[in-house]
Amino acid sequence: MDLQELIAVSVIKMFPVTAKQLQALSSSEPTYISDDFQILIIYNRIRNEVFKSASEGKKAYTCDIMNDDTGKLLKLLFQDFHCSTTVTPLENGMCNLLIDWMD
């Protein structure tokens, strides 16, 4: 599967959203959003950035994430990507996630 096909497939994949979760996104109190839904939003953003970076010819993508989210995000990422990851602890409960890949 080439990069364009991979991007096309990734756009089709969606996750279920409830009306309550959508309402919470537009409200000033996002406490109604479940932790798993927040993880999926973060994961989807990282996934899109990885595809964007790869299509631009870059070999890696890096971002900062919460320490508590690391395990769940890596589990989701490894379902979609066969790549190398490095997690570097930072201060204030954060860590840096580096995702790199070969051609």
Beta sheet of 94-100, edge-to-edge order:
60-66, 94-100, 84-89
Q: Is 85 helix (H, G, I), strand (E, B) or coil?
A: strand
pLDDT tens digits for range 32-66: 445 678 888 888 899 889 888 888 888 889 999 99
Q: What is the DSSP letter of 40?
A: H
Average pLDDT over residues 26-33: 48
Split at pLDDT 50, 70, 90, the class of 88 is very high
Query: Averaging pLDDT over each range in 13-17, 53-57, 62-66, 99-103, which range is the top one?
Result: 62-66
In angstroms, rounded to a whole number, what is the distance separating the alpha carbons of residues 31 and 25? 9
* Sequence-ordered alpha helix ranges (H) in 2-89: 3-12, 19-26, 35-55, 70-80
Half-sphere exposure of 40 (CA within 13 A, CB side): 11
